[in-house]
């Protein structure tokens, strides 16, 4: 194999990475060690910050197979570098799924029935080849096993750990691979029953544990010391340390102490926040993560072990009173009722049935490979709560362990929280670029100072200190603290309105949000459904709608019998629980549900059915009989009870559920079905379905109701209990009799429509992403205003490739909205835009799809997915990882995405979004950057407003700190030319009394009271911001240079000494003057210094006021009283000491007395400076240049915003006109706008409901699909 080969890990997956192999090189290590000593440890810091430099400077390239260190690089847009140490483990075998008893002396030979599985070994190498030593932590158990199987040669297993996942070297594919669990074997459903249901021997369990590790999701809480070291090694803090050492050498102790004090507070706050997050996550994961479990051994013994010892292949016994699942396992016998709220966010118990074991004659065609996603109805997931189990008495409910540790569903969730993708934000990238520019400016000053000092024979120590001092002046060490201030204040304001933040840096990013994804249940709507009414059908026609079914005349009707039996409810600790819809439906009947006890079940060879019966008060009264007759009749005539014999659970694919039930005393059984009205009506005989069915249904759905249809069929007499248990649902669900409709209401939260309207006006797109049913989601989207009444909803149904046919998408309308009026939308044509006078009207449309379609489109139509999300408004039946994937897709087209949800199933999406808000204080709050105490979406606009205010504050502070640096840099550079400098107390007064006071008060402006349609710019490198900073630097430079040159032209000017008396003061020379003469080694006291000090102090205040802007994102500065008071006090103080010198203050600040007429001239310079600064910033920039420069930035906020036009197209119209005026300007930067422009001129978009899109590669035009008209 070629040296230095590049491998791809996790190909095609989210965590795809490039891998290069390296071997440690001794002479390079020695050289780096010497470099570390020579640079005082700075080289070590540099290598810590740059992993790729660290590896390349200490190692030489080698093949991945022989690597001692691997260098990893992510293939996403961030291209991050990581390094990992390759370890070697000795094991008695090479493959975890081989049986030790059948292991041969040549470990690489396939020796088990699973010969197609991978071999994780380096079998050709001797046990201690390549200079590796086995990893000590793995040696103990391995050596014990090797001793037991001493006949077999120990095998060397090479692996490395990255992000809590072990990657093993695989000889077959010549790459590192992850072992996930039993699915690696691609086991079929039948082989799980036949080969994996017996359990593992203790030896085999220990052997597998060498590979899969301990079954524990370990979230280690780092010590404060470790966190401190990691935090302190931040480049900013290192620079601060350098500055503090330099100032101490220059005896500038006061400001050094102030910076140290601020840094300590900043670091302490950061450590507290990080530590708290780790503790919260650790506590969430640690709860019930280690339990005692019973497992079946291969010899049929039952043994109790700790859950940490479980490995894939173990057979676990699920206790009858329930447990918290410590792993992912597939149920092979019995039934479990599970609360999966940890995964799905829905606190609805789910019934899990045992994995079907296909009968031998059909096994070849039916038995497919087991997959946790496909077979989730039979899989118990880690972290979910098994409430109770049901099976024959004396029989055990068993499950085969499929995945353990971080490979489980819960483990993957925790990994996504522990190792999130970085959130890219232009502000921070631009901030570093801006700092680099400041460093370049500092470099010029550094060289200038050295050359000037050498020419004038200044001592070497002074040259070093003064030249380095220029760098600390140009790059202000207080910048991190200053930038943090606005965020801290915003965080405090958010806390006051009940929004808590664990990731303060995200507040700024929230200011850019232009799309918000909402979960539905519990977020937009109340948690449950309410029964609005029922509409029965008899003899093929509808009755009038009725409020409820709790009536004597309805108690024995088939309609009520269907409502009472067709559900998946169960009793848990005496309380009815199950799907909220089922619960409301059953409660509306007033019936009673009874489940068989364990004692009753033990009397039969089958599970006793669940029984439902009406309350006595609803049954017709019995005729008055004598007690003897009464007793006799009671024994003979059965009570009115219905037993539920068989359940076919609700299937989202089939959109229905059904049950087989029998009325007590009846010989024949009945099948009852409920589901989506169109589906149920299609399975009923035509004569039973009313002719006006479609009109009645449309009437309800348009009003936003959720409609459920009911049906029944009398089953054949030959169908016995046993036959029913094995019959397929297709035989049952046919030729049904239509019974009527149940109308349910999913109430919106009162605040929902208003908040969505506010976001709509602010030109912020809203998207619904839910785990609920598609039609319900569309109905709620219409109800809350997310989809306006006149807009069309196009459902994309994607089918994966099967039987040699390509994947395809069929398009259909969700409903047919009235099309009498049309909303105005801007159609931008890039070809002939100049000829258009008025915007064309086009029907607005929205795409809706479910999770399965989303997965198919993402895999087979990746280039179409980006087009679909531009107008995608409803995403239903989305799994947790699909929600995250949707967020990433939206971010991929340059949206700034917010996410609002309330369940643990939203964790990944909340973490991945630019701004995630959790409405729950449970699991989701651990992952979510923001948690709201208010359980509704009113927190979203508040967060965006505060984000915008914090972002504008960050710009103001950054601009101010840049000007502060440059003003001080200009002052010091000018003074260096006359071998002077600012005095220590002048620096101190500027740095603390002016800069820190102004920075920490100018950040206090609260957010503007409403959301406006314009967004603030996202980065510092924008035309308006650069113009603002550069013009203010030039103004300050001009006026300081003018002051410096003008003071030297004054008739009274001379080289200042303590004897100089230009103010005509009559004070006599005393001893202190002589002492001053001796002390002023640095030539601080002179006319140039004093003049520049006065002018520069006023310049700091001028730019602070000029940059401190209010509307439309912040309240105006005059409402920020701490800032106004601080600025006024400083103005008054400076004017006072300028026009009325106080000797003690002058001595402290080392300023000298200048003639009164020069003070007046200085005042005039300051006034003209202020007037020019205000003129340039407010008149030229805000009014004139905004239309030319800044308007292009605004494109990103009010350009073509798909699927969310503002009212009457007002905002879009301005962008449209802008494009008309400037047809040859560059295309918009945002990718979603670019795509919207392309689609606006595409005649085939949106796809018509009569078309099918097939995945057919067509290289000639680069498209991966083609549209065909279906018949």
Q: 497 vs 2, 101, 487, 504, 922, CA distance in Å?
A: 62, 65, 16, 16, 19
Give the strands of the sheet with 323-324, arranged side by side. Answer: 323-324, 385-390, 335-339, 349-353
1023 with 1192: CB under 8 angstroms? yes
Intra-chain end-to-end CA distance of the chain, in Å = 54
- Kindly report the number of other CB atoms within 10 A of residue 750's CB atom: 10
Residue 519 is a catalytic residue: yes
Q: Indicate left, alpha or beta for 740 from its phi (over 0: left) and psi (-120 to 50: alpha).
A: left
* Sign of torsion over alpha carbons 780, 786, 792, 793: negative
- Kindly report the number of other CB atoms within 10 A of residue 759's CB atom: 26
Position of tokens 């502000």? 427
Please give the distance of CA 679 from its chain centroid, rounded to a whole number.
36
How many angstroms separate the CA atoms of 1240 and 1223, rounded? 16
How many angstroms separate the CA atoms of 724 and 712, rounded? 16
Q: 1049 vs 657, 1036, 1061, CA distance in Å?
A: 96, 20, 17
Candidates 1000, 972, 1023; CA nearest to 472 is 972
Sequence-ordered list of residues with C-beta below 8 angstroms from that of 599, at least 6 positions apart, any chain: none
Burial class (CB within 10 angstroms; exposed 0-12, middle 13-18, buried 19+) of 232: middle
Say what the alpha-carbon torsion angle 835, 841, 842, 845 is, to the nearest 10 degrees: 130
For helices 136-148 and 202-212, give the axis angle rounded to 10 degrees. 150
Both tokens assigned to 1106: 């000029």
How many angstroms separate the CA atoms of 1241 and 1236, rounded? 9
Locate all alpha helices (DSSP H) within 718-809, ordered by sequence: 721-726, 729-732, 752-761, 774-783
How many angstroms separate the CA atoms of 427 and 411, rounded? 33
Helices (H) and strands (E) in the chain, counts: 43, 42
Give the strands of the sheet with 155-162, arranged side by side. Answer: 87-91, 155-162, 165-170, 175-178
Position of tokens 């045992």? 354
How many angstroms separate the CA atoms of 580 and 587, rounded? 10
Decide the pairing of beta strands 897-901 and 515-518. parallel
Candidates 194, 192, 389; CA nearest to 294 is 389
- Kindly report the number of other CB atoms within 10 A of residue 1165's CB atom: 19
How many angstroms separate the CA atoms of 756 and 774, rounded? 20
DSSP letters for 159-171 = EEEETTEEEEEET
Both tokens assigned to 965: 């640096």
Both tokens assigned to 561: 């019998």
DSSP letters for 169-214 = EETTTTEEEE--BGGGGT-BHHHHHHHSSS-B-HHHHHHHHHHH--
Pick the catalytic residue from 66, 430, 519, 783. 519
883 with 839: CB under 8 angstroms? no
Sequence-ordered list of residues with C-beta below 8 angstroms from that of 567, at least 6 positions apart, any chain: 578, 579, 582, 583, 585, 586, 657, 659
SS3 call for 649? strand
Candidates 589, 722, 718, 715; CA nearest to 658 is 715
* Catalytic site positions: 519
């Amino acid at each position: 194999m070629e040296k230095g080969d590049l491998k791809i890990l996790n190909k095609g997956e989210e965590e795809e990475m490039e891998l290069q192999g390296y071997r440690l090189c001794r002479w390079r290590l020695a050289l780096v060690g010497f470099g570390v000593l020579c640079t005082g440890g700075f080289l070590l810091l540099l290598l810590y910050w740059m992993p790729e430099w660290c590896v390349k400077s200490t190692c030489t390239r080698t093949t991945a197979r022989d690597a001692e260190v691997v260098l990893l690089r992510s293939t996403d847009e961030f291209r991050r570098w990581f390094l990992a140490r390759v370890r070697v483990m000795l094991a008695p075998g090479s493959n975890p799924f081989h049986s030790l008893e059948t292991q041969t002396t040549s470990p690489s030979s396939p020796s088990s029935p699973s010969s197609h599985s991978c071999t994780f070994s380096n079998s050709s190498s001797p046990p201690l080849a390549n200079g590796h030593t086995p990893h000590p932590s793995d040696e103990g158990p391995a050596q014990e096993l090797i001793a037991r199987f001493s006949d077999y040669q120990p095998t060397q297993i090479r692996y490395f750990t990255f992000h809590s996942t072990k990657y093993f070297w695989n000889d077959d594919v010549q790459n590192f691979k992850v072992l996930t669990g039993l699915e690696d074997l691609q086991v079929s459903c039948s082989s799980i029953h036949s080969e994996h249901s017996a359990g593992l021997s203790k030896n085999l369990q220990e052997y597998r544990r060498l590979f899969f590790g301990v079954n524990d999701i370990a979230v280690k809480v780092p010590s404060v010391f470790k966190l401190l070291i990691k935090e302190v090694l931040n480049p900013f803090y290192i620079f601060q340390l350098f500055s503090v050492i330099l100032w101490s050498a220059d005896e500038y102790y006061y400001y050094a102490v102030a910076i140290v004090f601020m840094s300590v507070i900043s670091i302490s706050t950061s450590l507290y926040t990080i530590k708290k997050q780790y503790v919260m996550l650790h506590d969430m994961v640690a709860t019930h993560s280690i339990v005692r479990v019973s497992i079946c051994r291969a010899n049929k013994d039952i043994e109790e072990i700790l859950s940490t010892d479980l490995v894939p292949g173990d057979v676990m016994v699920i206790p009858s009173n329930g447990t918290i699942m410590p792993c992912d396992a597939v149920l092979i016998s019995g039934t479990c009722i599970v609360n999966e709220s940890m995964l799905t966010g829905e606190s609805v118990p789910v019934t899990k049935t045992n994995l079907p074991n296909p009968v031998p004659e059909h096994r070849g065609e039916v038995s497919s490979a087991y997959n946790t996603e496909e077979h989730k109805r039979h899989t118990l997931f880690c972290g979910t709560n098994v409430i109770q189990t049901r099976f024959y008495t004396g029989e055990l409910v068993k499950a085969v362990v499929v995945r353990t540790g971080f490979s489980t569903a819960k483990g993957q969730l925790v990994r996504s929280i522990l190792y999130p993708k970085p959130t890219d934000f232009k502000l921070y990238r631009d901030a570093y670029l801006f700092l680099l520019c400041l460093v370049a400016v500092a470099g010029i000053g550094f060289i200038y100072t050295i050359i000037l000092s050498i020419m004038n024979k200044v001592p070497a120590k002074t040259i070093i200190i003064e030249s380095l001092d220029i760098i600390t002046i140009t790059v202000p060490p207080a910048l991190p603290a200053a930038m943090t201030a606005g965020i801290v204040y915003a965080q405090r304001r958010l806390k006051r309105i009940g929004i808590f933040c664990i990731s303060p840096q995200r507040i700024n990013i929230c200011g850019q949000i232009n799309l918000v994804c909402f979960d539905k249940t519990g977020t937009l709507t109340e948690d449950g459904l309410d029964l609005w009414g029922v509409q029965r059908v008899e003899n093929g026609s509808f009755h009038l709608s009725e409020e409820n079914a709790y009536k004597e005349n309805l108690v024995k009707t088939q309609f009520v019998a269907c409502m009472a039996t067709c559900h998946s409810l169960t009793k848990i600790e005496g309380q009815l629980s199950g799907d909220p819809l089922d619960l409301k439906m059953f409660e509306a009947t007033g019936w009673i549900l009874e489940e068989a006890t364990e004692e009753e079940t033990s009397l039969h060879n089958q599970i006793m059915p669940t029984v439902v019966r009406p309350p006595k008060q609803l049954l017709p009264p019995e005729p008055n009989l004598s007690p003897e007759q009464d007793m006799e009749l009671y024994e003979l005539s059965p009570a009115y009870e219905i037993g539920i014999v068989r359940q076919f659970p609700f299937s989202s694919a089939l959109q229905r559920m059904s049950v087989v039930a029998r009325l007590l005393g009846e010989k024949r059984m009945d099948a009852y079905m409920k589901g989506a009205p169109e589906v149920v009506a299609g399975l009923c005989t035509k004569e039973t379905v009313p002719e006006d069915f479609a009109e009645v249904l449309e009437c309800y759905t348009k009003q936003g109701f959720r409609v459920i249809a009911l049906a029944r069929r009398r089953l054949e007499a030959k169908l016995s209990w046993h036959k029913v248990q094995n019959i397929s649902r297709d035989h049952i669900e046919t030729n049904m009799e239509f019974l009527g409709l149940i109308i349910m209401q999913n109430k919106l939260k009162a605040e929902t429509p208003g908040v969505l309207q506010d976001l709509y006006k602010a030109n912020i797109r809203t998207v619904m992403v839910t785990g609920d049913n598609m039609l319900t989601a569309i109905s709620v989207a219409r109800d809350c205003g997310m989809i306006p009444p006149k807009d069309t909803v196009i459902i994309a149904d994607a089918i994966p490739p099967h039987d040699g046919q390509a994947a395809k998408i069929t398009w259909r309308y969700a409903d047919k909205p009235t099309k009498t009026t049309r909303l105005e939308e801007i159609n931008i044509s890039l070809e002939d835009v100049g000829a258009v006078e008025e915007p064309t009207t086009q029907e607005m449309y929205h795409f809706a799809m479910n999770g399965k379609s989303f997965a198919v489109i993402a895999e087979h139509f990746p280039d179409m997915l980006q087009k679909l999300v531009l107008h995608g408004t409803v995403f239903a039946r989305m799994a947790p990882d699909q929600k995250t994937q949707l967020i990433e897709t939206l971010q991929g087209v340059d949206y700034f995405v917010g996410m609002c949800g309330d369940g643990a199933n939203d964790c990944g999406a909340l973490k991945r979004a630019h701004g995630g808000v959790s409405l729950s204080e449970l699991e989701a709050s651990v992952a979510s950057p923001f948690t709201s105490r208010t359980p509704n979406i009113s927190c979203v606009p508040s967060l965006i407003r505060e984000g915008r205010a914090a972002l504008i504050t960050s710009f103001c502070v950054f601009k101010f700190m840049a000007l502060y640096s440059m003003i001080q840099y200009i002052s010091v550079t000018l003074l260096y030319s006359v071998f002077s400098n600012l005095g220590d107390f002048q620096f101190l007064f500027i740095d603390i009394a002016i800069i820190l006071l102004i920075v920490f008060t100018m950040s206090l402006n609260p957010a503007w009271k409403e959301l406006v349609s314009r967004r603030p710019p996202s980065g510092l490198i924008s035309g308006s911001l650069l113009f603002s900073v550069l013009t203010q630097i030039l103004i300050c430079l001009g006026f300081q240079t003018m002051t410096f040159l003008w003071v030297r032209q004054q008739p009274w000017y001379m080289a200042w000494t303590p004897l100089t008396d230009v103010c005509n003061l009559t004070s006599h020379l005393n001893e202190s003057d002589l002492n001053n003469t001796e002390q002023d080694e640095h030539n601080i006291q002179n006319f140039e210094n004093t003049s520049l000090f006065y002018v520069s102090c006023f310049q700091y205040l001028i730019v602070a006021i000029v940059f401190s802007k209010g509307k439309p994102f912040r309240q105006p500065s005059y409402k920020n009283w701490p800032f106004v008071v601080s600025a006024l006090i400083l103005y008054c103080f400076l004017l006072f000491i300028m026009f009325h010198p106080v000797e003690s203050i002058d001595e402290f600040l080392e300023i000298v007395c200048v003639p009164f007429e020069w003070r007046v001239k200085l005042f005039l310079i300051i006034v003209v400076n202020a007037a020019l600064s205000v003129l340039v910033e407010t008149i030229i920039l805000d009014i004139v240049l905004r239309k030319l420069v800044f308007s292009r930035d605004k494109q990103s906020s009010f350009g073509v915003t798909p699927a969310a036009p503002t009212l009457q197209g007002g905002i879009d119209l301005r962008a449209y006109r802008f494009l008309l005026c400037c047809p040859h300007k560059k295309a918009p930067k945002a990718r979603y706008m670019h795509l919207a422009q392309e689609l606006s001129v595409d005649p085939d978009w949106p796809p018509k409901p009569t078309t099918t899109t097939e995945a057919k590669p067509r290289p000639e035009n680069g498209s991966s699909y083609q549209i065909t008209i279906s018949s």
